[in-house]
Structure 1
């Protein structure tokens, strides 16, 4: 699937972060260096997460000087601004080489989104063993500057689409945040006990409208940085060709489909993309994904007060997902300025949750993280000024 709905991406050819091993071999060849130097450079970029050429001490000072003179830089994105929530969540305004910005979020302890999907990350979420809480965190990563999908309940939609991110800009967000928190991924000898990091590609943008760059970033994160794909989740609004390509990938994150409505009428009103690919077509594509016995597809469902949170909607969701290896993550809508929706009452959200469980579908309510700093799901909007915190609604059941 060709990338669409974006302007061309300005690429800094001399930025090293994001380059493949073959690319780095070519770089080293221009300086008359043997192939093994490329492996040393890759290890410095991705395993050691060097911020500058000066930190790559496996290469000689002379070679580093030659590279700098030729214009080569590591090229990690800059964490230009940080906002910290009362719950410990941090939202970063990330500045890219061309001056564009995206937002990335660090959630210590996670938000409960992994529960029920059969992975090690899910086990950690479900047991909440105190031994696993230290440096267990989730990073929410952006894939585009803005977004073209125009979901009506999401603040990012108001930005429109500006451009796709490159593989280095996507994976670079992760590296920059890991460096800020001095996270030990545990790759290589003598690294000690690794910290537990989960990645969710649920930030700004639609990953499957930037498919090639997104998957290239995943390969960097898995093969070079050492983060297992089982600790990654990609969220799509329902880009059918992207789901079909995803199903054929040998290395892929877990899939989360933003369902958000129980029928095409309601979904078409809040997610215009439904008019191109309806719920039935999306479910058929999901059913074709070769899942392992313990693997579940997550269906995300943002609860909007009076719109999609009634008992008949829960019954329709149960009918849609009958017989599938599926779980539902419920998200109480996170408010934002200029978005004309209301949060569900705690009673209606709790009732919806219990109806799904009673109907035999595993359902979990995501913990809201960082609402007071506009870091929660649907709130990322390249914030550069302080704003009043939105009103909060919590629900009783988190099981």
Structure 2
């Protein structure tokens, strides 16, 4: 099977030329793939029946991933097991109203988040975060409004498994199977958009490349997926965030891109000793080298680099760690997202105490760094950060004492 989804307009133009077709045929296919998001070659009705039959007979197909299984959390989050053409699977997550990860990064998505009024304080998991109000006037929110949401975030995978081996992450236990193609990466988005009948340009959709895998270890395919999502589907890169564990060559290449999402660096420790223990990749590229590379990225007006920091109880969550983070990020246009560790079976860590989380955040804020706590989404279905592990329907999450916060 030769997948059409994931090809750029120049690639489609070359394909059509090889079939003896004029360039406008490539534009018709491009529109059908990305604007109409069709699922079958037969549905590209702007092409003649003869040409559709020829494409099919020569092994061409749209090639969108299949949503093989769905799990729904009590907080509305949905986790999808996405099956690729070769049978490999990855996980993709739909988060209605997001998880607050965009706050403070200078983007339009951040402004939307900040504009909402906190109408109720709710103690969730010991009081880590505030619950946002639902709002009343949804007249301008399209199909998302029909579902009762202001906006949504889709979390996308870039590899089958992951090779980075972060010790606190369930995905690491899978190891690495293979990279995803650009079409398989962007196709996850298209499949979810189709499921929820999303209208690009009307509904507010944010994308985070924070699912299974390390995007910068699949750099070329990741960047092509970004181009497809921007130029084809129509989601601006300012509404995308890519998270890296710290792949130095990838960060250096990313700094030179003219079209790029926002960057989130998974810091997760305040010094190399702790970071190497929980993120072995630190042995290859230490914190100083990563921060030097990040500072060479030409940030847009009001753009801030996000530093993600997973808080592990009594490992990296103490006041001395907060003081070291302040020293590391001094002079960098940075914001910090604190992530209270999401438990999983077979991982020997525990959550930080709520008081320690509060002190850590307070110290960073008082030190001049905008610091937010990301709301966990879908913990009860293994959909939260660090929990993606290709869970199948027969597996039942056993997270005793862990609530699913909204």
TM-score by length of 1: 0.92
Taking the aligned partners of 1:211 and 1:148, their CA distance within structure 2 comes to 14
Greater shift after overlay, 288-297 or 80-89? 288-297
CA distance in 2: counterparts of 1:389 and 1:87, whole angstroms: 17
Gaps of 5+ in 2: 118-134
Q: Which residue of 2 aligns with 1:21?
A: 9
Q: Does the aligned pair in 2 maintain the 1:346–1:393 contact within 8 Å? A: no
Write the distance in 2 (CA, Å) between the matches of 1:22 and 1:299: 36
Match of 1:152 among 151, 161, 167: 167
Contact 2:382 2:397 in 1 (8 A): no
Corresponding residue of 1:77:
65
Question: Paired residues, what number?
Answer: 378
Aligned equivalent of 2:205: 197
Q: Distance in 1 between matches of 2:305 and 2:152?
A: 21
State whether structure 2 residue 48 is matched by structure 1 residue 39.
Answer: no
Aligned to 2:280: 272
Cα drift, residue 386 of structure 1:
2.5
Q: Which sits farther off after the overlay, 227-236 or 23-32?
A: 23-32
Q: 1:318 to 1:151 in 2, by over 3 A?
A: same
1:326 and 2:334 matched: yes
Deviation at 1:32, TM superposition (A): 2.5
Shift of 1:392: 5.3
Find the counterpart in structure 2 of residue 307 from structure 1: 315
CA contact (8 A) 2:378 2:404 kept: no
1:252, 1:22 → 2: CA distance? 20
Higher mean C-alpha deviation, range 305-314 or range 17-26: 17-26
| Gap runs ≥5 in structure 1 | 1-11, 187-193
RMSD over aligned Cα, in angstroms? 1.7
Q: Who is 1:165 aligned against?
A: 180
Aligned residues of 2:379 and 2:402 also touching (Cα < 8 A) = no
**1: CA distance between counterparts of 2:404 and 2:81?**
30
2:297 maps to what in 1?
289
Question: Secondary structure at 1:59's aligned position in 2?
Answer: coil
2:347 and 2:296 mapped to 1: Cα distance?
A: 35
Once residues 308 and 197 of structure 2 are traced to their aligned partners in structure 1, the CA distance between those partners, rounded to angstroms, is: 31
For residues 283 and 258 of structure 1, the distance between their equivalents in structure 2, rounded to whole angstroms, comes to: 11
Structure-2 separation of matches of 1:101 and 1:282: 31
Pick one of 106, 126, 133 that aligns with 2:94: 106
C-alpha contact (below 8 Å) 2:99/2:375 kept by paired residues: yes
Q: Give the aligned partner of residue 126 of structure 2.
A: none
| Inter-partner Cα distance in structure 1 for 2:401 and 2:306 | 25
CA deviations on 1:115-169 (whole Å, 9 max, x unpaired) are 0011110011111263467351000000000000000000000000110000000
Q: 1:254 aligns with which of 255, 258, 262?
A: 262
The equivalent position to 2:379 in structure 1, one of 357, 365, 371, is 371
User: TM-score when scaled to structure 2?
Assistant: 0.90
